[in-house]
Amino acid sequence: MSCKGVALDRQSRLWPGSWQHSTLTVDLGMNFPTGSYDRLSRPQDGSGSGVYSFRYGLTDQTGFKFGHMRPFRVRLWATGIQPVTSASLNGQSVYGTSTGFSGRAHAEAFGNFGGSVEFSLTRHLVFALDMIRDWSSGSHVQGRQILQTAPAAQNLSFNTPAEDEGLAAPAIEYNWNASTSILGGVGLTLSGRDTTRQVIGTLAFEHTF
pLDDT tens by residue, 36-59: 999 998 878 888 889 999 988 888
- The tens digit of pLDDT for each residue in 161-191 reads 888 889 999 999 999 988 899 999 998 888 7
Q: Do the beta carbons of residue 25 and residue 61 sit within 8 Å?
A: yes
Secondary structure class of 44 (helix, strand, coil): helix
Question: How would residue 194 be classed by pLDDT, with cut points 50, 70 and 90?
Answer: low
Cα separation, 18 vs 154, in Å, equals 68
- The tens digit of pLDDT for each residue in 87-126 reads 999 999 999 999 889 999 999 999 999 999 998 888 889 9
**DSSP H helical segments within the chain, as ranges?**
none
- pLDDT at residue 151, rounded to an integer: 66
25-29, 142-146, 148-152 — most confident range: 142-146
Task: Decide if pLDDT at 145 tops 60.
Answer: yes
